[in-house]
């Protein structure tokens, strides 16, 4: 059975783009594959969160994953920092990772630009830690967005380098997994491009109704159709795309027709869209709050994830130690 692995840095809440784009696919994948979903809290230290933020962010994303339907019995859902085997593999992989190649990675170059005051060594070796995350479970499929493909390629390079160096076939090739047609691309509210946390154009699963309403009412539109059946501009297409995923067919048909015959009022459309998004996200928000309040359940989930992840990781690490020459006495 194929092993699938995905990590998320605990730096922000899930937005609708994450939900429809990736998380819904994870829910399906956990039924068919050996899935590892984890929270990359070590990776998040590269941006120096406060201790309180770090803990809250990890708890939040955990509760969000659970509220979305990631099943800790089916998938291995864990917190990276609970699995020390990953840190040991990271140390070992660092010996075969070259500073020059790390300096050339796109994400590192981007970070130098975005946080020039904090170019720490963790940022440089970020892809090495990510490679350890991936290959410690011998994952072969890594669902990632375009921006993370290079990091998966680096993981593949380090897996092969290790195999070649010792003449073994310890690690299988990890590949970036593209959801292809199953990936619903959710646009942002700013008229162009997709929803993203850094763009500030997103609506979160965990967001107050009034905040959602305000954001949607401020969404970019155009001056309106002047001829019947004219094609929609990108900002309008985007609002309809959002409507497609959260509104009823009747609502969608009504506004599609109103656009086609030029009677559409964007204010009404946005009001309806806002209410439909609120209706969609409210049950998630309530579930997330309930899970966060249930410390016993959260502890149970984390303990179970840690146990499963450590069992898998220590099995690989034992092999690796032996291959390198750390024989047991
Ligand atoms: N670097 C990823 C991101 O920023 C998070 C991540 C860490 C990850 N380790 C991983 C993703 C392993 C996939 C596999 O989005």
Question: How many angstroms is it from 56 CA to the middle of ligand 1?
Answer: 19
- The domain in which residue 113 lies consists of 3-185+295-324
Question: For position 196, what pLDDT does the model report?
Answer: 86
Helix (H) or strand (E) holding 93: helix 84-94
pTM for the whole thing? 0.95
Asked, for residue 202, whether it belongs to a domain, the answer is no
Residue 252: give its domain's CATH number.
1.10.240.10
Question: For position 275, what pLDDT does the model report?
Answer: 98
Question: How many angstroms is it from 100 CA to the middle of ligand 1?
Answer: 21
- From its phi and psi, is residue 4 left (phi > 0), alpha (psi between -120 and 50) or beta? beta
CA atoms of 37 and 8, how far apart (whole Å): 8
Beta-carbon contacts of 104 under 8 Å, excluding residues fewer than 6 positions away, are: none
Please identify, by atom number, the ligand 1 atom nearest to the C-alpha of residue 130: 9
Would you call 128 helix, strand, or coil by DSSP?
Answer: helix
Asked, for residue 311, whether it belongs to a domain, the answer is yes
Question: Does the beta carbon of 148 lie inside 6 Å of ligand 1?
Answer: yes
Question: Does the beta carbon of 154 lie inside 6 Å of ligand 1?
Answer: no
Question: For position 127, what pLDDT does the model report?
Answer: 98
Whether residues 133 and 62 fall in one domain: yes
Question: Does the beta carbon of 142 lie inside 6 Å of ligand 1?
Answer: yes
Whether residues 162 and 129 fall in one domain: yes
Whether residues 174 and 237 fall in one domain: no
Whether residues 102 and 26 fall in one domain: yes
Asked, for residue 278, whether it belongs to a domain, the answer is yes
Whether residues 246 and 311 fall in one domain: no
Of the listed 74, 157, 194, 271, which one is catalytic? 194
Other C-beta atoms closer than 10 Å to the C-beta of 138 total: 18
Residue 59: give its domain's CATH number.
3.40.50.620
Question: For position 200, what pLDDT does the model report?
Answer: 78
Whether residues 139 and 177 fall in one domain: yes
Beta-carbon contacts of 191 under 8 Å, excluding residues fewer than 6 positions away, are: 219, 220, 234, 235, 238
DSSP codes joined into one string, 262-276: T---HHHHHHHHHHH
Low-confidence ranges of the chain (pLDDT < 50): none
Asked, for residue 201, whether it belongs to a domain, the answer is no
Whether residues 57 and 42 fall in one domain: yes
Whether residues 277 and 316 fall in one domain: no
Question: Does the beta carbon of 273 lie inside 6 Å of ligand 1?
Answer: no
Nearest-Å Rg of the Cα atoms of the chain is: 22
Whether residues 138 and 229 fall in one domain: no
Whether residues 216 and 305 fall in one domain: no
Asked, for residue 199, whether it belongs to a domain, the answer is no
Of the listed 111, 138, 215, 308, which one is catalytic? 111
DSSP state of 175: E
Tell me which residue of 224, 200, 225 sits closest to 214, measured CA to CA. Answer: 200
Question: For position 180, what pLDDT does the model report?
Answer: 83
φ, ψ (nearest 5 deg) of residue 144: -145, 160
Whether residues 87 and 135 fall in one domain: yes
Ligand 1 atom 7, closest CA: 7
E-strand spans in 69-197? Answer: 76-79, 141-143, 175-177
Asked, for residue 198, whether it belongs to a domain, the answer is no
Whether residues 28 and 154 fall in one domain: yes
Question: For position 222, what pLDDT does the model report?
Answer: 96
Question: How many angstroms is it from 43 CA to the middle of ligand 1?
Answer: 8
Residue 197 is a catalytic residue: yes
Tokens of 321: 């130690």
Asked, for residue 193, whether it belongs to a domain, the answer is no
Question: Does the beta carbon of 9 lie inside 6 Å of ligand 1?
Answer: yes
Per the structure, how many domains does the chain have? 2
Question: For position 132, what pLDDT does the model report?
Answer: 99
Asked, for residue 253, whether it belongs to a domain, the answer is yes
Of 3, 4, 7, the residue with max ligand 1 atoms within 8 A of its CB, to mutate for a pocket test, comes to: 7
Of the listed 74, 157, 197, 271, which one is catalytic? 197
Question: How many angstroms is it from 158 CA to the middle of ligand 1?
Answer: 16
């Amino acid at each position: 059975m194929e092993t699938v692995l995905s990590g998320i840095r605990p730096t922000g809440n899930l937005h609708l783009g994450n939900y429809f784009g990736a998380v819904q696919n994870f829910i399906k994948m956990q039924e068919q594959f050996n899935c590892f979903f984890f929270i990359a809290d070590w990776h998040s230290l590269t941006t120096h969160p406060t201790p309180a933020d770090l803990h809250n962010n990890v708890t939040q994303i955990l509760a969000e994953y659970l509220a979305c339907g990631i099943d800790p019995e089916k998938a291995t859902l864990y917190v990276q920092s609970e699995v020390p085997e990953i840190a040991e593999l990271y140390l070992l992989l660092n010996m075969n990772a070259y500073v020059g190649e790390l300096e050339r990675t796109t994400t590192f170059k981007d970070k130098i630009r975005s946080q020039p005051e904090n170019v720490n060594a963790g940022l440089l070796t970020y892809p090495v830690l990510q490679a350890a995350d991936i290959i410690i479970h011998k994952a072969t499929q890594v669902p990632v967005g375009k921006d993370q493909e290079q990091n998966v390629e680096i993981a593949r390079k380090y897996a092969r380098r290790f195999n070649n160096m010792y003449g073994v076939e310890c690690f299988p090739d990890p590949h970036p997994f593209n959801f292809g047609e199953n990936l619903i691309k959710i646009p942002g509210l700013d008229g162009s491009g997709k929803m993203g946390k850094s763009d500030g154009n997103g609506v979160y699963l965990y967001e107050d109704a009034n905040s959602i309403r305000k954001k949607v009412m401020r969404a970019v539109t155009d001056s309106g159709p002047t001829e019947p059946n004219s094609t929609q501009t990108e900002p309008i297409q985007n609002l309809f795309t959002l409507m497609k995923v959260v509104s009823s067919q009747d609502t969608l048909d009504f506004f599609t027709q109103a656009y086609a015959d030029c009677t559409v009022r964007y204010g009404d459309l946005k009001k309806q869209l806002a209410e439909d998004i609120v209706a969609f996200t409210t049950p998630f928000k309530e579930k997330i709050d309930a899970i966060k309040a249930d410390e016993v359940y959260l502890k149970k989930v984390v303990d179970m994830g840690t146990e499963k992840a450590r069992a898998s990781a220590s099995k690989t690490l034992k092999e690796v130690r032996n291959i390198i020459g750390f024989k047991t006495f």
